[in-house]
Amino acid sequence: MKAYDDERRMLDAEKPDVVAVCNNNGERARGILEALSRKHHVIAEKPLALTRSDLDRVKKAVAVSGSKLGMLLPMRYWPPYRAVKQIAERGDIGR
């Protein structure tokens, strides 16, 4: 995939199934809002926003877009979650 220095140009050019927003904390809400405005599903690093007003804008954008929004949390490293991941990787469940 091509490298981009501007997420808007990238989102205009590429058609991802999910957008992962892992930029710096102060720019995260903007990146999430850009992806949601194009009706992409989003997974983002935490925090989703630094201000209440930005968080409110993100919540509204999720509702309007109909897209799904998830947040990366440290529990993905906890033993029960790692066990589920290993089961899925073995092909016992999922695809």
Query: pLDDT digit string (tens) for 8-65?
Result: 999 999 989 999 999 999 999 999 999 999 999 999 999 999 999 999 999 999 999 9
- Give the structural domain span for 72: 7-90
Q: Is residue 66 part of a domain?
A: yes
Q: What is the pLDDT of residue 1?
A: 63
3-state SS string for 25-75: HHHHHHHHHHHHHCCCEEEECCCCCCCHHHHHHHHHHHHHHCCCEEECCHH
Position 72 pLDDT exceeds 80: yes
User: Running DSSP on this structure, what letter comes out for residue 21?
Assistant: E
Q: How many domains does the chain have?
A: 1
Q: Is residue 95 part of a domain?
A: no
Q: What is the pLDDT of residue 76?
A: 73
